[in-house]
């Protein structure tokens, strides 16, 4: 398949024709990768089951994994859900456009393939002018998982999308780097209490503040993010373990402990590995700046792959709440939960 590449840095007169063409591809059942503020997405018309099926094929994604639907306005929200939940309105008002996905009861006309057969639908309005204009021009809600081959690190730069999806999708819109760098916070609003299913840059604390009620973090996320490495030789049997996530090609090990001890441990492990002729990659983000870690993490994994690292040693962030929770969630998955205490 010939993939069209559109470069759109900002919305201006020169970008109008490109956006129209990309929107027409979407409306006709094609696949278009586009930038969002979190990571690049691979979009299709969410209401067209055949188009959405092509996403699963292009990514090599298990078809029971539901896809987030991207909207550009309130009119599109009402196509997807009949919910009038007060929490939904409050959160949409405060955080949209932005990196928050809301899980809501779905309308019957949303195809099962889009929601992985669930009776709920995950919706967000991305905070990126190119994405919003593309969705508006296409006139349809746009189903879009991250624009990577399934299991690979999420794409935060246009070049990542080209590497993974060239020849597999109809078009790619290139538009610089994603500002957030990790995927949106996913919040389930269908139960008695709001539950964070996937942590992101919008934190449980912020959601609690705005809703003025308790927001629960899914126990699975917490257990995984606190994972203390004692079972390094025998990984945990969490259901998610059967899938590889965000996996770099290299073996990745997280070192957990006080920063000073972690650096000593890293140097020792690095020397030992290098003595065996292995190439070692290091991931070391400032603990006081978890947003920077979120921004750079996936890109760093891809960079180390490109450099041909055999082993990646990553320093854990010691804060496991707020944005630290979101970063550690990605780091542990990327390492296949291999973490040692130093």
Q: At closest approach, how far in Å is the CB of 31 from Mg ion? A: 15
Sole window of 14-22, 140-148, 250-258, 307-315 interacting with ligand TXA (rule: CB under 6 A): 140-148
Q: At closest approach, how far in Å is the CB of 10 from Mg ion? A: 26
Q: From CA 282, how far away is CA 255, in angstroms rounded?
A: 11
Cβ proximity of 213 and 193 under 8 Å: yes
By the rule CB under 6 A, 296 interacts with ligand TXA: no
Residues 6+ apart with CB under 8 A from 87: 189, 194, 211
Cβ proximity of 106 and 81 under 8 Å: yes
Q: Give, as ranges, the residues between 284 and 313 that touch Mg ion (CB under 5 A).
A: none
Q: At closest approach, how far in Å is the CB of 263 from ligand TXA? A: 32
Rg value, the chain, Cα: 20
Cis peptide before 97 (omega within 30 of 0): yes
Q: At closest approach, how far in Å is the CB of 150 from Mg ion? A: 8
Out of 35, 111, 145, 265, which residue is the one contacting ligand TXA (CB under 6 A)?
Answer: 145
Which three-class secondary structure string do you get for 288-301?
CCHHHHHHHHHHHH
Q: At closest approach, how far in Å is the CB of 204 from ligand TXA? A: 16
Cβ proximity of 313 and 281 under 8 Å: yes
User: CA distances (Å), 224 to each of 53, 238, 335, in order?
Assistant: 31, 8, 12
Q: Residue 158 touches which of Mg ion, ligand TXA, none (CB < 5 to 8 A by kind)?
A: none
Q: Residue 66 touches which of ligand TXA, Mg ion, none (CB < 5 to 8 A by kind)?
A: ligand TXA
Residue 58, CA atoms < 13 Å, CB-side half-sphere: 32
Out of 146, 175, 185, 190, which residue is the one contacting Mg ion (CB under 5 A)?
Answer: 146
Q: Give, as ranges, the residues between 41 and 100 that touch ligand TXA (CB under 6 A).
A: 41, 65-68, 99
Of 102 and 255, the one with the shorter C-beta distance to ligand TXA is: 102
10 Å Cβ neighbour count for 258?
10
Laid out side by side, the sheet with 185-188 consists of 4-7, 171-174, 32-34, 41-45, 142-143, 69-70, 120-124, 100-105, 185-188, 195-198, 216-217
Provide the mask over 104-123, with x wherever binding to ligand TXA is found by CB under 6 A and - wherever it is not.
-----------x--x-xxx-
Of 8 and 39, the one with the shorter C-beta distance to Mg ion is: 39
Sole window of 88-96, 141-149, 203-211, 303-311 interacting with ligand TXA (rule: CB under 6 A): 141-149
The contact set with Mg ion (CB under 5 A) reads 146
């Amino acid at each position: 398949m010939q993939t069209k590449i559109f470069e759109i840095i900002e919305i201006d007169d020169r970008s109008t024709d490109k956006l129209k063409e990309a929107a027409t591809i979407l409306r006709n059942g094609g696949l278009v990768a586009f930038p969002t503020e979190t990571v690049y997405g691979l979009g299709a018309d969410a209401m067209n089951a055949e188009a959405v099926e092509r996403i699963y094929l292009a990514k090599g994604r298990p078809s029971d994994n539901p896809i987030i639907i991207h909207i550009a306005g309130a009119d599109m929200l009402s196509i997807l859900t009949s919910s009038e939940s007060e929490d939904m309105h409050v959160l949409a008002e405060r955080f949209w456009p932005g990196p928050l996905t809301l899980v809501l009861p779905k309308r019957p006309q949303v195809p099962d393939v889009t929601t992985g057969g669930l009776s709920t639908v995950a919706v967000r309005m991305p905070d990126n002018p190119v994405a919003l204009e593309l969705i508006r021009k296409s006139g349809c809600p746009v189903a879009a998982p991250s624009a990577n081959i399934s299991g690979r690190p999420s794409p935060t730069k246009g070049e990542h999308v080209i590497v993974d999806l060239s020849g597999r999708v109809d078009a790619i819109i290139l538009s610089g780097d994603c500002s957030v760098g990790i995927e949106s916070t996913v919040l389930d609003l269908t139960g008695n209490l709001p539950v964070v299913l996937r942590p992101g840059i919008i934190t449980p604390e912020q959601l609690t503040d705005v809703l003025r009620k308790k927001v629960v973090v899914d126990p699975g996320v917490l257990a995984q993010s606190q994972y203390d490495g004692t079972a390094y030789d025998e990984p945990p049997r969490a259901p998610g373990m059967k899938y590889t996530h965000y996996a770099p090609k290299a073996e990745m090990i997280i070192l957990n402990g006080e920063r000073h001890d972690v650096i000593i441990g890293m140097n020792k492990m690095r020397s030992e590995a290098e003595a065996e002729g292995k190439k070692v990659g290091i991931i070391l983000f400032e603990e006081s700046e978890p947003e920077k870690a979120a921004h750079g993490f996936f890109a760093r994994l891809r960079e180390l792959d490109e450099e041909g690292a055999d082993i990646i040693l990553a320093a854990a962030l010691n804060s496991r709440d707020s944005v630290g929770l979101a970063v550690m969630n990605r780091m542990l998955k990327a390492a296949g939960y291999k973490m040692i205490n130093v």
